[in-house]
Structure 1
Amino acid sequence: MTNVIVPLNAFERWQVLKNGQAAFIKLIAQSGAYGIEIRRELLPEKNLQLDLIKSKIQKYGLFTVYSAPIELWREDHSLNIEDLTKVFREGDQLGAKWVKVSLGYFKKVHSDVFVLKNFLSDYPEIQLLVENDQTSYGGDVVRLKEFFESVTLYGISVKMTFDVGNWYYSYQDLEFALSELGPYVIYLHLKQVENQKGEPVTVPLQNEGNTSWKKAFFQLPSNIMKAVEFPIEPIEKTEEYIRFIKELAKESEAAQCKSLM
C-alpha cells in the first residue's frame, strides 16, 4: 500500500497563515494520509508553534516531513551551515523524520561533501532530502546527479525528493531526469503542470491533459512515499485525492510485478 503525504502548501496560503498549520492536522489524518509535510515558509515569523504542531501530529500518529526553502550550498559553493543548523534544530523539535531542502549552488570541484557528512552525523535520526526546485541551478539534472553521485561515493546519507512538476519550471526533460536520478528517489511530489498563456501553472492531478506525471508514478517503485503537492480546493477533497493516489499505486504495483514475471 502506498503511503501518501499531504504538504500544507496544498491548501490556500492565506487560510494556512491565518489558522496555523496545526489546524489542518486532524483533517489530513482523517483523510487517510500517512503523514504531513510542514512548510517552514508558512510558519509564523515570531512564534513557530513547533511544540503545538508536534503534539497534534503525535495525537494522530502521522509521519512528519519538514520542508524549508533554503539552499544546501551557497553561491560560493560552500555548505549553508547556518541555515541548515537552524532548520535541523527546528525539524528535531518538530519530531520530523525527514528534512527537505533544495540543492543550491553545488559544484563538484569546490563543494566539500565531507563538511556535510560531519554535519549530518549530529542528526542520525533525521534523513536529509534534496529536492529539485524551480531554479536553473537547483533544478538541473546533471548538477543534481553529480551531487548524489558524490554523497553516495562517500557513504553520506542523502536521498532525493523528485518533484515531477518542477522539471517544467526549470526546463528539464522529465524522462531524462528519471533515468539519471531514479536510484536516489525515496519521495515523489506529485503535481500536474499545464501551459497557460505561455507560462507553466500547477493544477490538480487529472486523467487528461498533460499527464506526464504518470511516467514518474509508474516508473519509480510503487511503494515509495508520495505527496499530493497541488492546489486542493476545497480542502474536503483531500480524501478523494489520497484515495486516487492509492488506487493508482495498486495499478503500478501490479504492472511492476507483472514485468518481473
Structure 2
Amino acid sequence: MIVIPMNAFGEAEVKKNGQAFLFKQLIESDIKGVEIRRELLTPSDRPLEQFQTEHYTVYSAPVELFQADGTFNKENLQIVVQEMTEIKADTLKLPLGSFMKGKSNVKEMDHFFRKALPAGTQWLVENDQTKQGGTIEPLAAFLEICSEEGMEAGLTFDTGNWRYTGESVQKAFHVLKSYIRYLHVKQVNETPEGLQTVAIPLGKSAEWEMILELLPAAVPVALEFPLSMNDLFLYKNYIEKKKAVVQ
C-alpha cells in the first residue's frame, strides 16, 4: 500500500487549503492510504471527524513517548490518542523522545496503549531527526526491551532522517529490520543551505529501493518528499510494481 503524507505537498499549501481539502482530493483520486500531520492541522481541519474514511489512515503526532527526564509522556499522549480516535486512524506514529534504559517505564507505556487505543489499531515509534530519538542505539534498546517484555512495538523506518543524525541507513536497517512496520521513503541531499528533502531517485541502485526489496510486500510505503498531484501517480505506480515483484 502507498501512503501519502500531507507534508508532501508543502507547508504553505497545506496551511492555505487545510489538510481536509487535500485529504478529500486524495481519497477521490483513489489513493488508499493517507497520513495526517498533527503539526499542520488548521482551524478548517476541525472537527477531526471529517477525516474518517474506510481508507488506511495514519495519524502522525510530534509528541514524544518519553519526556526529557525519561518519564512516560502520558498526559500529552492522552490528548493525541483522543484525536486519533476522532479521526478513526488505523496507525498512530510517534517519536521516541528521551528513553532511558533502566528508568523509563515501558510497562506503564504498554498498559496505557493497551487500554487507550481503539481495537484493531496500532502505534509505532519513528526515527526522527534528533540524537535521542533518531539514532540506532536508543531505538534498538527501546524496541529490544519491548520485544523481551512481549509488548507490541513496531517501527516507522524513515530512510531520510538518518542523514540528519549522521547514522548509516544500511546499518540502521540491518539492526532494526525485524521491527519495521511502516516505511517512509525520501531523498535527503546536502545543499549550501543545509540538508534538503528532494524526490526519490528511481532505479535499482537507489538506496530506498534496496531497502524496499528486503521488506515484506505488506509493509505500507509513504512518499515523504515534495509532490504534486500530477507526479504522485508516477511514483505510486512505480513502487506498486516493485512491491508486486517482492510479493
TM-score normalised per structure 2: 0.93
Equivalence map 1:214-233=2 (5 Å): 214-232=209-227
Q: Deviation at 1:209?
A: 11
Q: Deviation at 1:137?
A: 1.2
- SS of corresponding position for 2:167: coil
> Does 1 or 2 have the higher relative contact order (CA < 8 Å, sep 6+)?
1
In structure 2, do the counterparts of structure 1 residues 32 and 216 end up closer, same or farther at CA, with 3 Å as the change threshold? farther
Equivalence map 1:18-37=2 (5 Å): 18-37=16-35
Structure 1, unpaired ranges of 5+: 254-261
Q: In structure 1, which of residues 68, 78, 98 is the aligned counterpart of residue 71 of structure 2? A: 78
State the distance in 1 between where 2:198 and 2:55 align. 26
Q: 2:98 aligns to what?
A: 105
State the distance in 1 between where 2:220 and 2:44 align. 32
State the distance in 2 between where 1:74 and 1:245 align. 37
Give the CA RMSD over aligned residues.
Answer: 1.9
CA contact (8 A) 2:127 2:158 kept: yes
Q: Percent identity?
A: 35
Q: Deviation at 1:28?
A: 1.7
CA contact (8 A) 1:5 1:228 kept: yes
Aligned residue identity for 1:44 = T
Does residue 1:176 correspond to 2:171, yes or no? yes
Q: In structure 2, which of residues 206, 212, 229 is the aligned counterpart of residue 235 of structure 1? A: 229
State the distance in 2 between where 1:165 and 1:133 align. 9
Aligned residue identity for 2:138 = R
State the distance in 1 between where 2:148 and 2:167 align. 25
Q: Deviation at 1:124?
A: 4.7
CA contact (8 A) 1:192 1:211 kept: no
Q: 2:80 aligns to what?
A: 87
TM-score normalised per structure 1: 0.88
State the distance in 2 between where 1:23 and 1:213 align. 30
CA contact (8 A) 2:69 2:98 kept: yes
Deviations 1:91-141 (A, max 9, x none): 011101110010000011111101101101212523111000011111111
Aligned length: 245
CA contact (8 A) 1:32 1:239 kept: no
Equivalence map 1:49-64=2 (5 Å): 49-54=47-52, 58=53, 61-64=54-57
Equivalence map 1:34-45=2 (5 Å): 34-44=32-42
Aligned residue identity for 2:90 = K
Equivalence map 1:153-192=2 (5 Å): 153-192=148-187
| Deviant stretches of 4+, over 3 Å | 45-48
Aligned residue identity for 1:211 = A
Q: Deviation at 1:72?
A: 0.7
CA contact (8 A) 1:66 1:99 kept: yes
CA contact (8 A) 1:190 1:213 kept: yes
- SS of corresponding position for 2:96: strand
Larger deviation, residues 42-51 vs 87-96: 42-51
Q: 1:194 aligns to what?
A: 189
Q: 1:7 aligns to what?
A: 5
